């Protein structure tokens, strides 16, 4: 038997109920915040990701699905959404159409990592970006939207953490301070962190090893080194969040995996997903568009992991809404002919209708209706055919009545399914 490849999952119909619900709910929220949907390719030139995500990041170093096409060009399955969105934004000069562009994208991302709970090689993200505004009010609005997305989906029990990584200037200064501090305590760090010291010192801040944590507690923190502009930006954000009554905690140790972030970064975490605790993550990237050869346009965005939302909903015992189903049972050839037209009429009236295709016993038909979780079963037999009647059986209440077949449509409409 050929099986799906590792980390690539089939989303079966039972599961789709959750997905539809999450996506539909999200789209409504996006609409109310003025976002528009964008769909872009899942394959891009490899260079795009090298230039945006950062050559020294784990994503680029070991997690990308990179191939050569038949012409020998290097192409990559997108490991995240932002790079492609910006590419499209620049390619189509969207910034000339409006000063602020709000976009969202829903689709699969690909990273070659070892799968585990809440982490897969093909995974789906709901991604949103605001391009063209640097004021912290936008950062606050985004966080409010994230909160509303999660609330409307029905996920509570999460924590919103924020931090500021400063701009090029102040972060550079901070990193120097951090490195010199850590160099002095080098022998207390784990081997991973000693390696990180040269590659990505910020990463050391969220190391989980006991010894490192001790050192980190005494380490200088980025928030003390922000320049005036960045510092004001961050405190304005906090003021807005206070005014909007959005609970958050400042986590100066929070670091993000992509190089392009500046100033505001944030993460929504839960304790209910095991090790993969981030449900939403994002941040500001004010330099990225310019670095890609575009105009100097600030931006901020985030991504939510759909699989993780599904896990949380399941963990809560959430039951997605199911459209009530009407099942049409019939007995005998003549009744079946009548049933076929009845089904057609009901469907034209937008009811969800299933019928029996065989000429099985009524018992077998009811059994199938039961399995399909039908709310009503319409039964047409020889007697009903002769009297122009239909039996309508309520499967939950386990009672039934006969009504004239001409009234059936109105009767069901009144039920308001």
Partner RNA sequence: GUGAGUGUAGCUCAGAUGGUUAGAGCACUGGGUUGUGGCCCCAGAGGCCGAGGGUUCAAGUCCCUUCACUCACCCCA
Q: Contact residues for RNA (CB under 7 A)?
A: 3, 5-7, 57-59, 63, 80, 111, 113-120, 123, 125, 192, 196, 203, 207-209, 255-258, 267, 274-281, 303-305, 307-308, 331, 360-364, 366-367, 369-371, 379, 381-384, 391, 393, 395-396, 398, 400
**Strand ranges for 15-121 from DSSP E:** 36-37, 43-45, 65-68, 74-77, 101-110
Min dist CB 400 to RNA, Å, is 6
Pairing verdict, β 65-68 and 101-110: unpaired
| CB 1 to RNA: min, Å | 9
Whichever of 102 and 111 has its CB closer to RNA, that residue is 111
* 263, 286 Cβ separation under 8 angstroms: yes
Helix (H) or strand (E) holding 161: strand 159-164
Q: Which is nearer to RNA, 281 or 412 (CB)?
A: 281
For RNA, give the closer residue by CB, 115 or 227.
115
Count Cβ atoms below 10 Å from residue 395 Cβ, excluding itself: 18
Residue 29 vs 255, nearer CB to RNA:
255
The HSE-up count of residue 21 (CA atoms within 13 Å, CB side) is 22
CB of 55 or CB of 348, closer to RNA: 55
For helices 136-153 and 228-243, the axis angle rounded to 10 degrees is 40
Q: Which is nearer to RNA, 302 or 351 (CB)?
A: 302
Q: How far is the CB of 229 from RNA (least distance, A)?
A: 26
Contact 353, 369 (CB under 8 A): no
- Residue 148 CB, nearest distance to RNA (Å)? 17
Q: Could you tell me the smallest distance in angstroms from the CB atom of residue 142 to RNA?
A: 14
Q: How far is CA 154 from CA 282, 285, 316, in A?
A: 21, 29, 9
CB of 405 to RNA, least distance (A): 13
269, 276 contact by CB (below 8 A) = no
């Amino acid at each position: 038997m050929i099986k799906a490849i590792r980390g690539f999952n089939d989303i079966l119909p039972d599961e789709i109920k959750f997905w539809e619900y999450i996506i539909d709910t999200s789209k409504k929220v996006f609409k109310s915040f003025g976002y528009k949907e964008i769909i872009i390719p899942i394959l891009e030139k490899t260079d795009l990701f090298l230039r945006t995500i950062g050559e020294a990041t784990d994503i680029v170093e070991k997690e990308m699905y990179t191939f050569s096409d038949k012409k020998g060009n290097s192409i990559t399955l997108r490991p995240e959404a932002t790079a492609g969105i910006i590419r499209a934004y620049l390619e189509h000069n969207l910034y000339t159409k409006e000063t602020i562009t709000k976009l969202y994208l829903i689709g699969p991302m690909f990273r070659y990592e070892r799968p585990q709970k809440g982490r897969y090689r093909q995974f789906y993200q709901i991604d949103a970006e605001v391009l063209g505004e640097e004021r912290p009010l936008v950062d606050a609005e985004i966080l409010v939207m994230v909160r509303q997305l999660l609330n409307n989906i029905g996920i509570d029990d999460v924590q919103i953490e924020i931090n500021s990584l400063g701009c090029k200037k102040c972060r550079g200064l901070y990193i120097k301070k951090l490195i010199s501090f850590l160099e002095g305590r080098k022998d207390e760090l784990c081997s991973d962190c000693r390696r990180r010291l040269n590659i990505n010192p910020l990463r050391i801040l969220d190391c989980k090893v006991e010894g490192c944590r001790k050192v980190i507690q005494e380490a200088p923190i980025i928030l003390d080194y922000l320049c005036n502009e960045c510092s004001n930006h961050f405190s304005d954000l906090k003021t807005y969040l206070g005014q909007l009554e959005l609970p958050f905690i400042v986590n100066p140790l929070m670091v993000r995996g992509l190089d392009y972030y500046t100033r505001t970064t944030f993460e929504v975490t839960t304790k209910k997903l095991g090790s993969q605790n981030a449900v939403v993550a994002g941040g500001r990237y004010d330099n990225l568009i310019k670095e890609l050869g575009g105009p100097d346009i600030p931006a901020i965005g985030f991504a939510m992991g759909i699989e993780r939302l599904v896990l949380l909903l399941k963990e809560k015992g959430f039951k997605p809404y199911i459209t009530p189903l009407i099942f049409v049972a019939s007995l005998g050839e003549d009744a079946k002919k009548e049933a076929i037209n009845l089904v057609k009429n009901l469907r034209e009236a937008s009811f969800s209708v299933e019928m029996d295709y065989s000429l099985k016993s009524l018992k077998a038909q009811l059994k199938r209706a039961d399995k399909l979780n039908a709310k009503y079963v319409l039964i047409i037999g020889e007697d009903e055919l002769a009297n122009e009647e239909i039996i309508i059986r309520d499967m939950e209440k386990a009672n039934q009545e006969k009504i004239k077949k001409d009234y059936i449509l109105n009767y069901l409409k009144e039920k308001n399914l």
